[in-house]
Structure 1
Amino acid sequence: MKSLFLIFSHRLTAEQEQDARENLGITHFVPLPSELQELWSNLPPEPDEIHPLLQPIKQWVARHAVSGDIALVTGDFGATWNMVNFCHSLGIIAVYATSRRMVIEERGAQGTTIKRSIFDHVRFRTFR
C-alpha cells in the first residue's frame, strides 16, 4: 500500500487523484491533520527562520510515512524546499503538480481589466 501525503494548501482534484492512482501507484491519500493544515496554509512571512515552525509537520511525517511513500509538497518556497529535503532524508519521494494555465481577460466597468486563470492538471513531477 503506497500512500500520498498531502502537504499543500489546496484540495486534491479528481484529475490529480486519478493521476496519482494510475501513475504513482497510490492507494491511500493522507491529508495533514487540521491544525497542521492551518499551519502549512498560513506560514507567517515575518520570521527570519522557518525551521522551528515546520517541526510539528516534520514530526507528523516521520511518525506516519515510510520509505517509498510519496509526499505532494507545494507552498511557501522556503518551507517547500525544507520539507522536500526532509522527505528525501527519510526515503520519501517528493513530488509537485504541474498544470497548464489558460488566462482569460475581460473588460470590466470603467476600463478595468479582469483576469481569470484556469489551471488544468497535467502530471506530477518528482523533485530531484
Structure 2
Amino acid sequence: MDKKLILLFSHKLTPQQLKDAEEKLNCKEIIYLNEELSKLWQNILPETDIQVFKDFLMKNGKAGDYVLIQGEWGTVYNMVNFAKEKNMIPIYSSTARKVVEEKSSSENQVIKTSVFEHRGFYRY
C-alpha cells in the first residue's frame, strides 16, 4: 500500500531523500507545506499557534502516513506527539556532515564549509 510523506520541514528534499522515501518508505506522494505555512514553520516563535500545522496534517494525511518533522525543538516535540496520537509515523532525516576548512586570502580568516549528506530516515 502506497503511503504519503508529509513534510514539516524547511527545505525541498534532495534527490537522495526522494529516492529513499520512495524505495524504503514506499511513499509515492510527497506533500510540502504551502508557501505561507513554510514561512511560518521557518520562523516559529514561542507564541506561534501551531494549530495550523495540526490542521495541515489532518487535511493531508491519514493513519500510516509518514511525517518528516524537523525544525524548532519545542514545536517538533509537539508535532511528533500529535502525529503519534493520529497514528501517523513521525520521522527525521539523519545526515553526515563533512566540514572543509580553507584559509581565505586574508591571513586572519578561515572559511568553513559544511556539506550534509543524507544517511536515512528514522522514526522518532
Q: TM-score range by the shorter chain?
A: over 0.9
CA distance in 2, matches of 1:119, 1:2: 26
- Number of the residue aligned with 1:122: 119
Q: Secondary structure at the match of 1:110?
A: coil
Q: Please list every run of 5 or more consecutive structure 2 residues that lacks an aligned counterpart in the other structure.
A: none
Q: Which runs of 4+ in 1 moved over 6 A?
A: none
CA distance in 2, matches of 1:84, 1:55: 13
Deviation at 1:22, TM superposition (A): 0.5
CA distance in 2, matches of 1:29, 1:63: 14
Q: Secondary structure at the match of 1:19?
A: helix
Q: TM-score, normalised by structure 2?
A: 0.94
Which of the numbers 99, 114, 117 marks the counterpart of 1:103? 99
CA distance in 1, matches of 2:39, 2:98: 29
Q: What count of residue pairs does the alignment treat as equivalent? A: 122
Identity %: 37
- Number of the residue aligned with 1:35: 36
Which of the numbers 82, 85, 90 marks the counterpart of 2:81? 85
- For the pair 1:20 / 2:25, whether they are aligned, the reply is no
Q: Please list every run of 5 or more consecutive structure 1 residues that lacks an aligned counterpart in the other structure.
A: none
Deviation at 1:110, TM superposition (A): 2.9
Amino acid across the alignment from 2:31: V
Q: TM-score, normalised by structure 1?
A: 0.91
Larger helix proportion, structure 1 or 2?
1
- For the pair 1:10 / 2:6, whether they are aligned, the reply is no
Deviation at 1:100, TM superposition (A): 1.0
Q: Secondary structure at the match of 2:13?
A: coil
